[in-house]
């Protein structure tokens, strides 16, 4: 019993010192975001993704297949403005073949959310151009997902666009390049 008390008196102060030192270290540590990133790193990543959004916009407007190839991950899956599901190769082919030619992309209400090595971008885009040779002018909401690779580069892994706004006043479906099964593209 005496031995236990002696051991307790000698060890407890050491444990208390370690506990206090640990608490002090945690209190003095640089604050982190909820996802464990340092605030400066978080801001840096967010800025990188915002810059890549402009690179994407410019590549899309210029039909720059090489730039788009660098932006898209190999396992990219997109859902286009017309509801088509496309892979990276299909998206690059759409650009090469000029199936979708965008002459205007105005973005607003851009939000970037970072979760670890994933960035989710949501925005509204006012778009003009042609889809399969048919003129289009519409507003879309889109979500684009970026993933940060181990080498530190960001790649677009997913995309989806949804048309917003009311239908045209004359009741006709807008010409955005989408054709329903059995629909005649050249009525008349």
Tens digit of each residue's pLDDT (9 = 90 or more) over 60-112: 999 999 999 999 999 999 998 888 999 999 999 999 999 989 999 999 999 99
* Topology annotation, domain 39-164: Nuclear Transport Factor 2; Chain: A, (3.10.450)
pLDDT at 160: 97
pLDDT at 134: 85
pLDDT at 80: 87
Average pLDDT over residues 114-132: 94
pLDDT at 42: 81
Q: Report pLDDT digits (tens) over 127-186.
A: 999 988 888 899 999 999 999 999 999 999 999 999 997 665 665 555 544 444 344 443
pLDDT at 139: 95
Domain boundary assignment for the chain: 39-164
Contacts of 80 (CB under 8 A, 6+ apart): 86, 94, 100, 161
pLDDT at 126: 95
Interatomic CA distance for residues 35 and 114, integer angstroms:
8
Q: Given a cut of 50, is residue 14 above it in pLDDT?
A: yes
A 10 A CB-CB count for 52 gives 19
CB 88 within 8 A of CB 76: yes
CB 155 within 8 A of CB 73: yes
pLDDT at 31: 44
Contacts of 134 (CB under 8 A, 6+ apart): 175, 176, 177, 185
């Amino acid at each position: 019993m005496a031995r236990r008390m002696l051991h307790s008196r000698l060890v407890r102060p050491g444990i208390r010192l370690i506990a206090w030192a640990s608490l002090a270290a945690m209190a003095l540590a640089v604050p982190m975001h909820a996802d464990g990133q340092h605030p400066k790193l978080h801001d840096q990543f967010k800025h990188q993704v915002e810059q890549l959004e402009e690179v994407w916009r410019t590549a899309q407007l210029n039909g720059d297949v090489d730039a788009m190839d660098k932006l898209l991950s190999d396992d990219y899956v997109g859902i286009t403005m017309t509801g088509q599901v496309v892979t990276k190769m299909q998206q690059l082919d759409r650009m090469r073949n000029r199936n979708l030619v965008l002459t205007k992309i105005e973005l607003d209400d851009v939000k970037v959310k970072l979760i670890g090595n994933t960035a989710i971008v949501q925005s509204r885009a006012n778009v003009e151009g042609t889809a399969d040779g048919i003129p289009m002018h519409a507003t879309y909401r889109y979500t684009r997902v970026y993933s940060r690779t181990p080498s530190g580069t960001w790649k677009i892994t997913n995309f989806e666009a949804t048309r917003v706004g009311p239908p045209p006043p004359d009741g006709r479906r807008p010409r955005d390049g989408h054709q329903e099964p059995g629909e005649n593209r050249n009525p008349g």
